[in-house]
Amino acid sequence: MLLGVPFDATTMGRSGSRHAPTAVRTALAGLLSYHAGFDSDLRQGGTLADAGDVDALQTDVEETWRRISEATTALMSTVDAPLIVLGGDNSLTFPVLRGALAARTGRLGVVHFDAHFDVRASHHGEPASGVPFRRALEDLDGRISGRNMTQIGIAGWENTKAAADYVAQQGIRVYSAREVQTTPMDTLVEEAVSRAVDGTDGVWISIDIDAVDGAFAPGTNCPTVGGLTSHQLLELVWRLSQVPQVIGLDLSEVSPPLDRDGLTVQLAAATILTFLAGQAKARTTT
């Protein structure tokens, strides 16, 4: 199930991600169903229903977040399929997690792809795209815990030491973009999954496209130098999406007005199809 969130009012910097749901849907319509590397054909059990967009209010953050949570809860309570939430800016991750928890019991593990820690308390006293994981850790009754979270792709020269210290205090495992380059993928996935499923009732994957190097994903608020390759993102999503406990994914910060030759939009569309392919493979092997 696909849910769009055309909202970027909390972006700290260059906006435009509110246009992503429409652009990525168009890109999805232009792609074919088969992936030779995965030997996956989405004509066989890979359908994607579209629930449309949240009615976002660019002038009211809290009301838009309430609507995101409400839509997430309703879909996850009634549809027996993973939810894909397509933003929009990265602030959406907090209301999505809040809505997912309202539809379930227990706790959630999180695997988070991002160039940034996203644990600001606020931005000049206001909610922003850099706050979702601090809010998730502090405002959801302990149902999101640092010991069940892994952050992948954290970039150099784009974060503060204070944010790194907070993340360490919370017990979050961080794979910087640099560490990803030197860590066997099997090792990274095994650790992230082990942490995410430990004592939880589901796993959520959160992707800010700026985890990917600006050479592959230029169309974003803050293009990254030295980030993940597009191959690394897709391979990690392919592997993680086959974990039985995965209940959904959000993808944010794709900004079509800032894109070059549609590269970032195409990567977002490929990421969604890769997630569906992994889910389809998991269903055939269980």
Q: What is the CATH number of the domain that holds 63?
A: 3.40.800.10
Q: Residue-wise over 42-78: b if at least 16 C-beta within 10 A, else e? A: beeebeeeebebbebeeeebeebbebbbebbbebbee
Distances (CA, A) of 38 to 33, 118, 243, 269, 280: 11, 32, 16, 16, 11
pTM of the model as a whole: 0.97
- Domain with 175 in it: 2-285
Taking only the tens of pLDDT, the chain with its 286 residues reads 999 999 999 998 899 999 999 999 999 999 999 999 999 999 987 678 999 999 999 999 999 999 999 999 999 999 999 999 999 999 999 999 999 999 999 999 999 999 999 998 877 667 778 899 999 999 999 999 999 999 999 999 999 999 999 999 999 999 999 999 999 999 999 999 999 999 999 999 999 999 999 999 999 999 999 999 999 999 999 999 999 999 999 999 999 999 999 999 999 999 999 999 999 999 887 6
- What does the mean pLDDT of the chain come to? 96
- State pLDDT tens for residues 271-285: 999 999 999 999 887
Number of folded domains that form the chain: 1
Residue 70 confidence (pLDDT): 98
